[in-house]
Amino acid sequence: MHAPSARGSWLLTALVAALVLGAPRTAASQFTPFPNDPHHILEGNWQSCLQPEGYYGERVYDHVVNGVGQFEVHMGPRREFAIFKGVQDEHRRHDSSDNLLAPNFRVPLEAGRAKQQWEIPSLNLKFTVTLAGGSRTDCESWFILLEPLQKTS
């Protein structure tokens, strides 16, 4: 019986590594916070990724103060965003008149770039989304900033 050659072992290791690293992975939609200012309500990176079922992921942030739901922020799917007064368990349609970002809740992509800013005086909010570098066809990466329109001390 022959002992495996160094070249054969190296080739087998390289083949296994290529299969493991090259295997398609399910892209999870996620929000990664990185607060820069204590006055910001929500700040970070949001990724809306194509799910195995064929749709892009969505994340909902519930803003609750003293146990009372003030508003919901919907990030995704893909280039859609929504803000609704109050918090509820049922999903709300982004194209509904209750979406405080309507009618411009879909951020247009122009020459590979996208940015939108909304002001919502009724909730004293300013919401800015910017398509971030590194976005690709199966995942869109966004910089998210939700802050008060008028800063309170």
Q: What is the mean pLDDT of each run of 10 residues along the chain (153 residues)?
A: 48 35 44 86 92 90 95 95 96 95 95 95 97 79 94 63
Q: Which amino acid is at 9?
A: S
Whole-number pLDDT of residue 152: 64
Q: Measured between alpha carbons, how far is 42 from 28 in angstroms, rounded to an integer? A: 20
Whole-number pLDDT of residue 18: 34
Note the pTM of the prediction, 2 decimals: 0.77
Whole-number pLDDT of residue 105: 96
3-state secondary structure of 2: coil
Pairing type for strands 115-120 and 81-85 reads: unpaired
Where do we find the tokens 């919401």? 127
Cβ–Cβ < 8 Å for 40, 101: no
Whole-number pLDDT of residue 21: 33
Of 127, 121, 124, 145, nearest to 46 by C-alpha is 145
Whole-number pLDDT of residue 12: 37
Q: Measured between alpha carbons, how far is 49 from 76 in angstroms, rounded to an integer? A: 9
